[in-house]
Structure 1
Amino acid sequence: MAIDLYNPCEPFRAYNRIEGRPREEELDDALAAKINDPLWMLARQFQFGELKGEDAGSAIFAKAAINTVRMTSFTGGNGQKVPYSEVTPLETQVERLIPDIDLKLAAKLGKKFYALLEIEGVNAPVSAGYSSGMYKDLLNKRFPFVVPVINESDNAQEAASKARTLSLQQASSFLRAMAGRAINGRGLWIELGGVFTGVNAWVLPASQLPSGSKFINSKHQTIFQETAKKWIAFVKEELNLPKDDEDDSWFKERLEYSFKTSVDEGNGSETDLKADEYFQGHLDWYSFDVSKQMNGGVKVFDDTIRRREVLTVIPSEASFAGMPNSRWWEMEDGSIDLGNLKASDTDIAKILVTQYALQYSNDWLAIPYEIATGSFVEVEGVLVRDTFGQNYLVEAAHKDGESWNEWNMYSLSVDTGEFKIPEFDKRILLPASSAKTLESESIEEIKFIRDEMANMVWGIESRIPDGLGGGMDGYEAANNLQAEFERMIKEGEVPEELVLPEVNLDDQDNKANTYKPQLKYQLGNTVGENWIPFIAVHKNGSNREIHFQRASMPRINELFDPHAVRPRTQLLREGINELDNQLTPLYINEEEIPRAGAKLTGTYQRTRWYNGKIVSWYGRRKRTGRGEGSSGLRFDLVLENNE
């Protein structure tokens, strides 16, 4: 083919795109997207199965009948039933414990007491004769911050108690700074015991002079009582304290919380909801079981207790992120690639979720309904009308009388006994729990492990209170305490010069004694002082069942007779006073410490309740451990003599 040298380019060709090109100012015709061949669209719908009749109708109208009852009472660890209240979240009522008041908090509480006392004194009548600051020095002397001093007259346990405080360097520095300058709120709280009339013991009789224990003028007794009343209320509200140790819901033998709530059915019957094994840190419907079903009261339902409401709505499509669009010609959201989910033959849950998301997701409709917290709700049924005017009654997937293994969701198990067929309560529970909680760093942390070589359980205090409201490493604290004992050795007890005895080497017996033996015998080794042993003992009245009892390792040094090493965390010190005397033993059930172990933490928690109130409390949480461990504890050792 010859090429024209004077016209090398191809002829100019123009192309038109097959789309609407409006020449008008209005865009109505262009946006209408008219189809010239609707038969082709019908054929495509027929090809994809869209013309089948099983899903021809769409829901346009729905009615739902809903019954609602609410919690009426709460039963904690003391077994006393009290009225249910939503002043604080349910987690707060369950988890709150009485924390050990640290030095910073003690100074804060002491300052608050004195501020309330000054306000009450200033507002008192002039005849009372109260003057500002008249009791400041007396209160400082009555409730002081004292720096412990180890005396020669102290026994081993008293010295160990003081050495623990001195080994906390920052806490002891804080004590020296506050000594004689502030009121110790911890001592004040212990003295009053939560009762404002405890100040009556400080009232000075008319014929006596002020002393350390009695220093209040009788005219000012009412002022101190009002101050103590307001101060105790402030402390309980600030820390969300239970009334006493018996009022909290913590069961130390099981290392978890246990409580119960009741629901008034409105016909003279009650339903008890129990949570025997709560330790997760977030309270939800799955934490409860029905311990006693409603027994069919004989009274007519009280509408003020049991509310029935019929809701009429237009159902809306239930959707989730990445859900396939129900319209054919709509662009999909590419943020989630559901087709890229990789599942093996054993990933049944992932396969089910994928199948639901890709095939049945647009078949679900939602009817929103708001219920109050603390409610127990039952949906009697949902009546749905489609575009063809047909009505369908949608009942619960799990019905009474059907097999116990039918599909159901959000239903509570009913405690029917060990050898009976399980039952379920079809109602939905919405407890008054917090949506989000802020948690401090661990104040206490105990790791329970099984040591098969030593045939015992160890409670390792990996984190202990530092005395200032925080926590510190348990191993570091044990080393600091050991160093404190070493510093307690007085210089006078160590001779300045060592005088060796004269030995006649000509004597054959003396010559033999000068040789160093190659081996030595050791009765047993030791472990870190933050390792607290638990030994297996039989339960009372049983020759087979056992539980773990807290024991102690001996502390042996040159200053004192051998004495017990006591724990330093509040949990493991249950039943031990400040002088390390054990008043009551501590037991832990065997099943609570499996082969995987358990980790227990104590933290301060803070949340904002729905009325805007900030709520703080101290609680515990249990998690699964990381397996067995070994302490290296051995007895009757023959070692090389390297000395």
Structure 2
Amino acid sequence: MALILKSDQRSVAPSAVGNWTALAAAGVAPPSVTGFTRLETQPTTIGLQQGLQAAVADPLWMLARQWQFNEFQGEDAGTPLSVSCTVTGNPVRQFRPGSKKDAQPWKMLPAGGAPIQARVEAEPVWRRHPRLRGEAGLQLLRRAGPALRNAVLQAYPLTLATPADPAADPAGLLWSSVLHGRTVDAQALASDLEPLRGADRRLTGLPASLSAMDGSALGILDTWLAWLDGLVFEGAADNPAWQGERFEYAFALGTGAVALEAAEYTDGHVDWEEFQAEPMVSRVRPRQTTFAVAQRHPSPVRYPGMPADRYWEFEDGRVNFAGAEAGATDLLRLSVSEFALTFGNDWFMLPVRLPVGALYAVTSFQVIDSFGVTSTPGAVADNAQTPWHMFTLTHPARLPGDLGNALFLPDSVEDVLHGAPLEHTLVVRDEMANLAWAIEKKVQGTSGEPLDRDQEARALAFQQQLDFAAGDPQVVYRLATPVPANWTPLLPVRRQGLQPGAPVDIHLERAGMKRFYPAPAALGRPDPAYSDFLDGLDAQPNFITPLPVADAVHVRAYVFHPRGHLLRQDPDRPMPDAERQWLEEEEVPRIGATLRRTFQYARSADGRSWLWVGRSKTAGRGEASSQLRFDVAVKAAARQ
């Protein structure tokens, strides 16, 4: 800030000088007009434009602006010219799916195995994707000769049934007409070939159904089976890493002395901030590797739009710091702006190439500056000894050795390609109905491709038109309004049950919507469309369960369940009575959540390609309204 004092006197005519002289003799001061001009920044304004502009007024203004930007402040510090350091790494050698409370055993990680995302997320693919099995079989048919082609088509034909609802599953209708009986079921053939492999994973013979083939068929099948092994990376059917009560993954990596816990992995991107370090007791001895870096020249940290080092330099126009708007209480934005403008050129970078999949700590660090002074700086920490660190893993207990300031470089893959969702489910709150819902938008159909559950729900919402006589009442009573078949209620229940004195701890339990329909015999007249509709409900036991009722002659009852893997353990069989699923209440916020199952493809650092099916959870779309109401009277013209 600069204060400039400036005095001005009005000009007067010469004839008035005598009068002023008389006044001065009488002890009266002559009149004058004095003005003060104050030039300063305005920190209470929103914009920084006026404070950062270099307005040229006079030399004193220029000197004051340079003083405000610490241009005249000497720090007696040299520029680092040479750096030597030593980095110690502890490679990750163990993997444990699930959280600590799941008590899953630790597994040794093979060298050159799958990346973290594929190992954590992968689940079975072949069983629920007939189209993929058929396309893998087509690869064999392209390699095989006429004799082998006819033999495998006769012994292992692909069976792909026509979907029950072609309007909701057009992909299933298409692929059933194209692939059914025209290609090979790759998994059925691979299951018969797997026991015939030797210790070197080479085929030693052919199954009985192909015993008539010659030796060339053995080589073709061996090459095709090796290709099939690397096509898709599969995991266990009951993936213990998936936490169904939170729709998240949990896993841990072990170095022999430190366990890296990742308790809330949801978005498909794994980096060091996902983990929390804890001491671990393991039978696997830690294996340390030392990397020495000698005489490396550091380079200043630069970023797009960085302010110039000196005040009177032309700056990059890609970032306009003067356009940043910050109020007097916006401390975070003010701190970032001050750091960039004042201390942005005090940082240097020293690249070090290290293998991924290890926990690293800097054990020695020496700097030689431009004055020839050698110094040994330490890790960044708060002087008040508070638990504040920068780029450091969170660790509640003291870690062995120098791992308290360690950094983890995970063996993850970047730029993962995601396919179209195989399953898409929304978890929402419905304040008007005082319920939470899981809304299935897409699930896998008969071919493994997505099925539109919204379209299917319309077909499952058959409405019977009632006939009213002239003297009948003009209102119809409904116990409850209908809800689409793809809406699954999540009922709030007490975790401890109805125990006196127990705390009210609520979680959400997956339920099913009950539907009641009049039996055809109760209608008084035949309705073929209505009878076909009820027969269609009975023909889909995997997600529609008939309920026994006392008056089965007049009423039929059904329960509609979800169809996808996100809300079921096994969608290919009827819902068992013992299968129950709970969800933590805080996992359904007011904004909701979006769940997806997709194919994911990526390449690891060694150039290998990986294809797997994984799940993700992202923010939802807000609240929803099911229009569910109870005890409703509607006009007689309405349908039920």
Deviation at 1:355, TM superposition (A): 0.9
Q: Is the 8 A contact 2:565 2:571 kept in 1?
A: no
**Which residue of 384, 388, 393 corresponds with 1:412?**
393
Question: What is the rounded CA distance, in whole Å, between the counterparts of 2:171 and 2:195 in structure 1?
Answer: 33
In the alignment, residue 109 of structure 1 is paired with which amino acid? A
CA distance in 2: counterparts of 1:630 and 1:640, whole angstroms: 22
**Structure 1 position 359, deviation (Å):** 0.4
Query: How far apart are 1:274 and its partner, in Å?
Result: 1.0
| Equivalent of 1:146 in 161, 172, 185 | 161
Structure 1 unaligned segments of length 5 or more: list them: 1-40, 123-130, 148-161, 199-213, 265-269, 418-422, 495-499, 501-511
Match of 1:132 among 148, 152, 160: 148
Q: Comparing 232-241 with 609-618, which one deviates more in the overlay?
A: 232-241
User: Could you tell me which residue of structure 1 aligns to residue 331 of structure 2?
Assistant: 348
Find 2:482's aligned residue among 518, 521, 526: 526
1:259 to partner: Cα distance:
0.9
Question: Shift of residue 617 of structure 1?
Answer: 1.7
Partner of 2:82: 61
Query: Does 2:107 match 1:81?
Result: yes
1:334 equivalent in structure 2 = 317
> Does 2:269 correspond to 1:253?
no
Superposed CA deviations along residues 225-283 of structure 1, whole A, max 9, x for unmatched, are: 999887666445312111x224562222221111111114xxxxx11111111112100
Native 8 Å contact 1:317 1:366 kept in 2:
yes
Q: 2:135 aligns with which of 108, 124, 131?
A: 108
Task: Report Cα offsets for 1:135-174 as digits up to 9, x if no partner.
Answer: 2453256x52333xxxxxxxxxxxxxx6356742341243
State the 1:514 CA deviation: 4.4
User: Is the counterpart of residue 482 in structure 1 residue 460 in structure 2?
Assistant: yes
1:553 and 2:513 are equivalent in the alignment = yes
Distance 2:338 2:68 in 1: 22
Which of 360, 378, 385 in structure 2 is aligned with 1:403? Answer: 385
- How is 1:11-22 mapped onto 2 (pairs within 5 angstroms)? none
- Secondary structure of the equivalent of 2:340? helix
In structure 2, the CA distance between the partners of 1:47 and 1:585, relative to structure 1 (3 Å rule), is closer
Match of 1:172 in 2: 173
User: Separation in 1 of the partners of 2:227 and 2:392?
Assistant: 40
Of stretches 444-453 and 461-470 in structure 1, the one that deviates more from structure 2 is 461-470
Q: Map residues 248-397 of structure 1 onto 2, 5 A cutoff.
A: 249-264=241-256, 270-292=257-279, 305-327=288-310, 330-397=313-380
Contact 1:576 1:582 in 2 (8 A): no
- 1:619, CA displacement in angstroms? 0.9
In structure 2, relative to structure 1, the CA distance for the partners of 1:80 and 1:61 (3 Å cut) is closer
**1:529 Cα shift?**
1.2
Corresponding residue for residue 570 of structure 1? 565
The 8 Å contact of residues 73 and 261 in structure 1, kept in 2 or not, is answered as yes
Please tell me whether the aligned partners of residues 86 and 365 of structure 2 are also in contact (alpha carbons under 8 angstroms).
Answer: yes
Matching of residue 608 in structure 1 with residue 603 in structure 2: yes
1:71 aligns with one of 87, 92, 103: 92
Cα 1:177/1:393, change in 2 over 3 Å: closer
2:345 alignment partner, SS class: helix
Q: 2:428 aligns with which of 420, 438, 449?
A: 449
Alpha-carbon contact 1:62-1:385 (below 8 Å) kept: yes
Letter in 1 for 2:390: M
| Aligned mates of 1:375, 1:383 — CA distance in 2 | 23
- What SS does the aligned partner of 1:362 have? coil
C-alpha distance in 2 between matches for 1:58 and 1:443: 56
> In structure 2, how many angstroms separate the alpha carbons of the residues matched to 1:69 and 1:631?
53
Q: Tell me, in whole angstroms, the C-alpha distance in 2 between the residues paired with 1:553 and 1:48.
A: 68
Measure how far apart 1:385 and its partner are. 2.7
What residue in structure 2 maps to residue 12 of structure 1?
Answer: none
Cα gap change, 1:223 to 1:289, in 2 (>3 Å): farther
The 1-side partners of 2:178 and 2:445 are apart by 17
Give 2:319's aligned amino acid: I
Contact 2:169–2:452 (Cα < 8 Å) also in 1: no
Q: Which amino acid aligns with 2:484?
A: G
Structure 1 Cα separation of the partners of residues 381 and 280 of structure 2 = 17
Aligned to 2:407: 428
Question: Which amino acid counterpart does residue 252 of structure 2 have in structure 1?
Answer: K
Q: Secondary structure at the match of 1:146?
A: coil
8 A Cα contact 2:176 2:447, kept in partner: no
Return the offset for 1:606.
1.7
Q: Find out whether 1:517 has 2:510 as its counterpart.
A: no
2:627 corresponding residue in structure 1:
632
What residue identity is the alignment partner of 1:436?
Answer: D
The 10-residue stretch of structure 1 (427-436 or 322-331) with the greater mean CA deviation from structure 2: 322-331
Secondary structure of 1:385 counterpart: strand
Partner of 1:267: none
Distance 2:67 2:374 in 1: 27
Q: CA–CA distance in 2 between the matches of 1:617 and 1:281?
A: 12
Relative to structure 1, the CA distance from residue 185 to residue 146 in structure 2 (aligned partners, 3 Å threshold; closer, same or farther) is farther
Asked if the contact 1:273–1:290 (Cα under 8 Å) also holds between the matched residues in 2, the reply is yes
Count of matched residue positions in the alignment of Structure 1 and Structure 2: 519
Any conservation in 1 of the 2:361–2:405 contact (CA below 8 Å)?
Answer: yes
User: Distance between the aligned counterparts of 1:456 and 1:44, measured in 2?
Assistant: 62
331 and 446 in structure 1: CA distance in 2 versus 1, 3 angstrom threshold: same
State percent identity of aligned pairs. Answer: 27
* Change in 2 beyond 3 A, CA 1:386/1:563: same
Query: Residues 176 and 356 from structure 1, CA distance in 2 versus in 1: closer, same or farther, beyond 3 angstroms?
Result: same
Q: Which amino acid aligns with 2:443?
A: I
Provide TM-score, normalisation by structure 2: 0.70
Cα deviations by residue, 1:391-448 (Å, 9 ceiling, x for unpaired): 332111228x963333x2111112459xxxxx99311111112221222232211111
Deviation for aligned residue 1:537:
3.5
Structure 2 unaligned spans of 5+: 1-61, 99-103, 198-206, 518-529, 535-555
Q: Deviations over 1:488-515 (max 9, x none)?
A: x9xxxx9xxxxx9xxxxxxxxxxx9842
**CA distance in 2: counterparts of 1:390 and 1:64, whole angstroms:** 16
Distance 1:47 1:525 in 2: 70
Residues 80 and 633 of structure 1: CA distance in aligned 2, closer, same or farther (over 3 Å): same
Q: Distance in 2 between matches of 1:58 and 1:577?
A: 68
